Amino acid sequence: MYFPHTRKRRLRQNQSIRNLSQEHRLSADDLIWPVFILDGFNRSEQVQSMPGVQRMSVDLLLDKLHKLVDKGLNAVALFPVVDKAFKSDDASEAWNPEGLVQKAVKTIKSEIPNLLVITDVALDPYTSHGQDGIINDQGQILNDVTIKALVMQAQSHADAGADMVAPSDMMDGRIGEIRAAFEQKKRHNVGILAYSAKYASVFYGPFRDAVGSAGNLGKSSKETYQMNPGNAREAIDEIQMDIDEGADMVMIKPGMPYLDIIKTAKDYFNVPICAYQVSGEYAMLQSAINNGFLDEKGAVMESLLCFKRAGCDAILTYYADRVIHWLDAS
């Protein structure tokens, strides 16, 4: 018998030995902060469905970024809140060189050049119907037509100075076309973070509220292009295809409900694996925290540590700004 010679509690008896024997740790290097940006100056709005999260104009965002970068933040991901006047069926505002995202990238990179700026490549903030693609008269998403628009959007972001583009649309073949366009323009160093296993999830609701696409989408769904939540093996195919097409990093989305997909991806692939702790996950946690049911720091840190345990190399989380301060103070 192993007992009493083996007593696992020996490695748990005080904080020092627990620190020595801990297998996984969370650091500022693991975090990407997703932010909602507004046009204009000195503007901020609370996202009602995400208590504690704001939409911000770029000047206010810059103030926060300077402080967070000083404490270790490496990356920010930009998500635009587009005025209704700029939404259209063909989403042409998405590749406007003077658009909200393009101007934001230029401003941030000019002031904080070492901060990694990641941009969302998807049409849903810009379409009048709220879908991630261009549709025909029957309401069907036109995959190949959409790819052409996504390429123009990605190129406009690279032209503005984005370090990495993150196609989140789930159109077939878009990673290869974006990579080919970058190579043709000799943008060899612009990275692609592919949303490779993005599931058709109810957990995106607060995000759509935050960027203003929920009303446009209405009762329509995205199930014809986002993945079926009941499928796991299909995610491996999707990830492999994106890597073969030129993705540098891959994303699993949502996060905690799909830890099994994160673990499998880490076992299969030798590229950085990212996960998105999405708006619905944030809203659930924060609601419990605000009601006094959970300790904020403890719940958030444990939830993020589980991403590391599953195999994540990077985590997009709306808690990144708070976690950076907690880690700095520890």
46-62, pLDDT tens digit by residue?
A: 999 999 999 999 999 99
pLDDT above 90 covers a percentage of the chain that reads 91
- Per-residue confidence (pLDDT) for residue 205, from 0 to 100: 86
Query: Mean pLDDT throughout 296-309?
Result: 97
Bridge partners of 232, per DSSP, are none
Q: Please confirm whether the linkage preceding 254 is cis (ω < 30° from 0).
A: yes
Backbone angles phi, psi at 31, to 5 degrees: -105, 140
Residue 13, SS3 per DSSP: coil
Helix (H) or strand (E) holding 259, with range, is helix 259-268
Distant-in-sequence, close-in-space partners of 237: CB < 8 Å, separation ≥ 6: none
Q: Which has the closest alpha carbon to 96: 111, 85, 109?
A: 85
Per the CB < 8 A criterion, the answer to whether 282 and 228 are in contact is no
Distance (Å, whole) CA 164 – CA 75:
10
Half-sphere exposure in the Cβ direction for 274 (13 Å, CA)? 27
Per the CB < 8 A criterion, the answer to whether 108 and 115 are in contact is yes
Q: What is the pTM of this model?
A: 0.95
Does 238 appear as a known binding residue? yes
> Is-catalytic flag, 198?
yes
Per the CB < 8 A criterion, the answer to whether 98 and 39 are in contact is no
Q: Which of 87, 106, 222, 253 is catalytic?
A: 253
> Is-catalytic flag, 106?
no
Q: Which of 198, 222, 266, 297 is catalytic?
A: 198
Residue 256 has pLDDT above 70, yes or no: yes
Q: Is the dihedral of CA 285, 286, 291, 297 positive or negative?
A: positive
Confidence band, pLDDT 50/70/90 cuts, at residue 216: low
Distant-in-sequence, close-in-space partners of 235: CB < 8 Å, separation ≥ 6: 196, 197, 227, 252, 261, 264, 265
| CATH code for the domain defined by 25-329 | 3.20.20.70
73-130, pLDDT tens digit by residue?
A: 999 999 999 999 999 999 999 999 999 999 999 999 999 999 999 999 999 999 999 8
Least confident of 20-24, 126-130, 204-208: 204-208
Domain range annotation of the chain: 25-329
Q: Which has the closest alpha carbon to 279: 207, 202, 173?
A: 207
Confidence band, pLDDT 50/70/90 cuts, at residue 330: confident
Query: Cα angle at 179 between 176 and 180, to 5 degrees?
Result: 85
Per the CB < 8 A criterion, the answer to whether 127 and 216 are in contact is yes
